[in-house]
Amino acid sequence: MRYLHTMIRVSDLEESLNFFKLLDIHEVSRKENEQARFTLVFLSATGDEKLVENAKSPLIELTFNWDEKDYDGGRNFGHLAFEVDDIYAVCKRLLQNKIIINRPPRDGRMAFVKSPDQISIELLQKGKPLPLISPWKEMPNQGTW
């Protein structure tokens, strides 16, 4: 058995693609089905290109059903988790693009954000936690994560 992908339904494909680009997660393939009226976009983390080529990296499948727009209950999905080289830099880039940091990296190790469709995304610092610094160490949680 091999883990292939995680599918999440999205209500606005372009908004979701822009969000994942901010996390350095990019489109690797796309399938459109006009008869069934849906688009599937498969995403991979930057740095996993060789693994994707060899079908050894799990993907994120964004499913955009053209006639459906409202999906709720994103939190009951759980979350996607990504290891990052510099959690502070990633969170700063997200904040600069008006993404709410639901659980800031106060510990230099872990943060949570949500996609435009309210899917929780966990960011974990690669290796040891970074030294505690402002503004992260003082920043409170916002909403649920």
* Helices marked H in the chain: 13-22, 49-53, 87-96
- HSE (CB half, 13 Å, CA atoms) of 71? 22
- Selecting among 27, 32, 122, 138, the annotated active-site residue is 122
Residue 49 annotated among the catalytic residues of the structure: no
**Residue 99 near residue 113 (C-beta atoms within 8 A):** yes
Residues labelled as active-site residues: 122
